[in-house]
Structure 1
Amino acid sequence: MTEILEERPFGWQYTNVYLSIFVLFCFKLFVKISLNILTHFYVVKGNRKESARIAAEFYDFGQAICFGARKTLCFLAFCIIEDYAQTDLFVQIVLFKYSWMWQVNATTIDGVTPLFNACSAGSVTCTEVLLEHGAKPQAEAFQPSPIHEASSKGQAACIESLISWGADVDFDIPHLGTPIYIACVSRELQCTQKLLDGGANVQKGRFLDTPLHAAAQKDCPEIIRVLLDFGANINARNLELQRPVETAPPNSTAEAVLLLYEATPPSLCQLCRLSIRNYMGRSRLHLISHLKLPTLLKSFLQYR
Structure 2
Amino acid sequence: MEGELASGSWLGEIGFWAARTPVHEAARRGEILQLQELIANGACVNLITTDSITPLHEASLQGQTQCVKLLLAAGAQVDARNIDGSTPLCDACASGSIECVKVLLSHGAKVNPPLYTASPLHEACMNGSSECVQLLIDVGANLEAHDCHFGTPLHVACAREHLDCVKSLLNAGANVNAAKLHETALHHAAKVKNVDLVEMLVAFGGNIYARDNQGRKPSDYTCRSSPTAKCLESYEKTPLSLAQLCRISLRRAASQQGLKIAKLNIPLRLMKYLSYN
TM interval, short-chain normalised: 0.7 to 0.9
State whether structure 2 residue 38 is matched by structure 1 residue 58. yes
Counterpart of 2:233?
259
User: 1:289 Cα shift?
Assistant: 5.0
Q: Percent identity?
A: 33
User: 1:283 Cα shift?
Assistant: 5.3
Counterpart of 2:113?
139
Q: 1:249 to 1:61 in 2, by over 3 A?
A: farther
Q: Give the alignment of 1:1-304 within 5 angstroms.
A: 36-41=20-25, 48-50=29-31, 52-62=32-42, 67-69=46-48, 73-82=54-63, 87=65, 89-90=66-67, 93-95=70-72, 97-98=73-74, 101-281=75-255, 284-286=258-260, 288-289=262-263, 291-293=265-267, 295-304=268-277
Equivalent residue letter for 1:251: S
Equivalent residue letter for 1:198: A
Q: Is the 8 A contact 1:288 1:301 kept in 2?
A: no
Which of 1 and 2 has greater Rg? 1
Q: Is the 8 A contact 1:107 1:114 kept in 2?
A: yes
Deviations 1:245-269 (CA, angstroms, capped at 9, x unpaired): 1111333221111112223222222
Q: 1:77 to 1:240 in 2, by over 3 A?
A: closer
Deviations 1:158-201 (CA, angstroms, capped at 9, x unpaired): 11122222221111112221111111111211111111122111
User: 1:235 Cα shift?
Assistant: 0.8
Between 1 and 2, higher relative CO (CA 8 Å, sep ≥ 6) is seen in: 2
Q: Partner of 1:285: helix, strand, or coil?
A: coil
Q: Which runs of 5+ in 1 are unaligned?
A: 1-32
Q: CA RMSD in A?
A: 2.7
Q: Is the 8 A contact 1:68 1:106 kept in 2?
A: no
Provide the C-alpha distance between the structure 1 equivalents of 2:103 and 2:157, rounded to a whole number of angstroms. Answer: 24
Provide the C-alpha distance between the structure 2 equivalents of 1:302 and 1:252, rounded to a whole number of angstroms. Answer: 29
Equivalent residue letter for 2:179: G
Provide the C-alpha distance between the structure 2 equivalents of 1:104 and 1:182, rounded to a whole number of angstroms. Answer: 25
Counterpart of 1:20?
none
Q: 1:78 to 1:283 in 2, by over 3 A?
A: farther
TM-score (norm 1): 0.75
Q: Is the 8 A contact 1:248 1:254 kept in 2?
A: yes
User: 1:92 Cα shift?
Assistant: 5.2
Provide the C-alpha distance between the structure 2 equivalents of 1:113 and 1:248, rounded to a whole number of angstroms. Answer: 38
Equivalent residue letter for 2:248: L
Greater share of residues in helix: 1
Counterpart of 1:29?
none
